[in-house]
Amino acid sequence: MTLVESLLAGFSVAATPSNLLFCLLGVTLGTLIGVLPGLGPTATISLLLPFTFGLDPVTSLIMLAGIYYGAQYGGSTTAILINLPGEASSVVTCLDGYQMARQGRAGTALTIAALGSLFAGIVGSFVIALWGPVLADFARGFSSPEYFALMVLGLVAAIVLAQGSLLNAIAAIMMGMFIGLIGIDRTSGVARYTFGQPELFDGIGFVPVAMGVFGLVEIAVNLEQTQGKRQVLSQVGRLWLTRDDVAKAYRAVLRGTGIGCLLGILPGGGAVLGSFASYALERRVSRDPARFGHGAIEGVAGPESANNAAAQTSFIPLLTLGIPSNGIMALLMGAMMVQGIAPGPEVMTSRPELFWGLIASMLIGNLLLVVINLPMIGIWVKLLHVPYRILFPTILIVCCVGVYTLNNSIFEVVVMAGFGVFGYAMRKSGCEGAPFLLGLILGPLMEEHLRRAMLISFGDPSVFVTRPVSAVLLLIAVLLFAFAVIPSVSLMRAKTFEED
């Protein structure tokens, strides 16, 4: 089948009334939680996960994906209007977006954010359509040594790209891997840290942990911060772009889209990384870097395009290799597996309607998002006034019901509560939840593939370097890790040079 035929087949799946409805539902919900600070897509998707199991797999994926990229749109709204990033990926949008709003150009900033996201979203979807099958063909040759190398690369990337201290990121990943050890070892059948409890035989469930570490911690942190009066700008200003705006922004949109697409594919990458990298790039290539931080439209256009492009392309590793590149993709992988679909190269041939239907829905969803976002900015702003004392008990109840219905198990509700406390302690000590979660997911997979690769090779470790793909992946991982260490080296060097 050609690309056009496949896409048309995808549209026939995505355009059914129920799939359109759930796409709309997903992107609306995504925008909503994007606008609301404190409730991110990870928490939302994990909350909704148990409720999607009754849906058709394609429908549930369409909706959950919509939440993720929808949040990239919504996140910019709060960042621009009240200097509060609705999403982590919108942090850099605050820098210039809020300044533009203060200058009465909020409408322009919101429009360029939405249009940039639309362009990036469409390009990102086509990148999946074009590269996805190629990568899947390539991935078909993957066996345990390659998967092991890929997991190593993913973990190294998670360490390198984590914000803050390198040591904290490593610690978080290690803790995640340790929690991942719990359960009956699939290779040997030996029970590890189960204390004879059948509840622990399958290991600690990923969804309760994610809901504890993200959902509950988010609530706790929000309650902790004083609910001071937030200044909301009443003046949104004109929505349309001037010729000068377009001239300045379009290159930034193009560059942002490119860098976002690229970083989205990388294991450990995603929307946050894309937006930061794009902002840095815009500053570097600008003829007048001094304008940045004072309302430069490129500073909004680039990162907002990048985060949406990355949100789309981060589906590639999941859909083609069956490897989640970030916490959200891991949640979606869980959603697929519960539905009896093992994500991997097989999906595209065995369930083409799922792959192409999802891509088609992304194109539809991106259009819907622009329609939702531009005329409804006024309404989104009003939602910021919902008092948190009403919002947070609702979220808490939904969390508990959601986890319980997952396996009809009280034990998992307790697990969620426990990891809520654990996650809070982690947050307080400067450890991020995302690397912890990646350790929890990738650790057991890495072990499984390492041991299987060793079994198949009759104990010869050279398979990892004699098989070309595995060797290249491991080499990249080593180089990436070296990069993470080098900045301190270069900093020392810089200081030495200064003294000369």
Q: Given the rule CB under 8 A, which residues bind other proteins?
A: 50-51, 53-54, 140-141, 143-144, 184, 186-191, 194, 196, 198-202, 338-340, 342, 344-346, 350, 405, 407-409, 448, 452, 455-456
The closest of 23, 107, 110 to 59, measured between CA atoms, is: 23
Kindly state the smallest distance separating residue 189's Cβ from other proteins, in Å: 5
Kindly state the smallest distance separating residue 394's Cβ from other proteins, in Å: 16
The closest of 273, 232, 286 to 92, measured between CA atoms, is: 273
Kindly state the smallest distance separating residue 233's Cβ from other proteins, in Å: 40
Kindly state the smallest distance separating residue 25's Cβ from other proteins, in Å: 15
> DSSP string covering 172-183, please?
HHHHHHHHHH-E
Give, to the nearest 10 degrees, the angle between helix 17-35 and helix 57-82: 30
**Of the two residues 113 and 347, which places its CB atom closer to other proteins in the complex?**
347
CA 437 to chain centre: 12
**Of the two residues 60 and 326, which places its CB atom closer to other proteins in the complex?**
60
**Of the two residues 50 and 70, which places its CB atom closer to other proteins in the complex?**
50
Distances (CA, A) of 60 to 139, 339, 364: 25, 10, 16
For CA atoms 11, 27, 50, 85, give the dihedral sign: positive
How far apart are alpha carbons 160 and 353 in whole angstroms?
36
At which residue do the structure tokens 């949109």 appear?
Answer: 253
**Of the two residues 16 and 405, which places its CB atom closer to other proteins in the complex?**
405
Distances (CA, A) of 227 to 32, 220, 395, 491: 20, 13, 17, 40
Residue 235 φ/ψ, nearest 5 degrees: -90, 110
Kindly state the smallest distance separating residue 41's Cβ from other proteins, in Å: 21
How far apart are alpha carbons 72 and 372 in whole angstroms?
13
**Of the two residues 4 and 190, which places its CB atom closer to other proteins in the complex?**
190
At which residue do the structure tokens 């995504």 appear?
Answer: 30
Residue type, 111: T
**Of the two residues 138 and 292, which places its CB atom closer to other proteins in the complex?**
138
How big is the chain, counted in residues? Answer: 500
Is-contact 109 419, C-beta < 8 A? no
> DSSP string covering 123-166, please?
HHHHHHHHHHHHHHHHHHT--HHHHHHHHHHHHHHHHHHSSS-H
Kindly state the smallest distance separating residue 405's Cβ from other proteins, in Å: 5
Extract the tokens encoding 325.
Answer: 């590149």
**Of the two residues 5 and 202, which places its CB atom closer to other proteins in the complex?**
202
Kindly state the smallest distance separating residue 181's Cβ from other proteins, in Å: 15
Residue type, 386: V
**Of the two residues 342 and 379, which places its CB atom closer to other proteins in the complex?**
342
**Of the two residues 261 and 321, which places its CB atom closer to other proteins in the complex?**
321
Kindly state the smallest distance separating residue 482's Cβ from other proteins, in Å: 31
Kindly state the smallest distance separating residue 203's Cβ from other proteins, in Å: 10
Extract the tokens encoding 102.
Answer: 């203060």
H helical segments located in 325-432:
327-338, 346-350, 352-373, 377-383, 388-407, 410-428
**Of the two residues 40 and 212, which places its CB atom closer to other proteins in the complex?**
212
DSSP assignment, residue 89? G
Is-contact 11 64, C-beta < 8 A? no
**Of the two residues 30 and 50, which places its CB atom closer to other proteins in the complex?**
50
Question: 56: Cβ–Cβ under 8 A, 6 or more apart, which residues?
Answer: 18
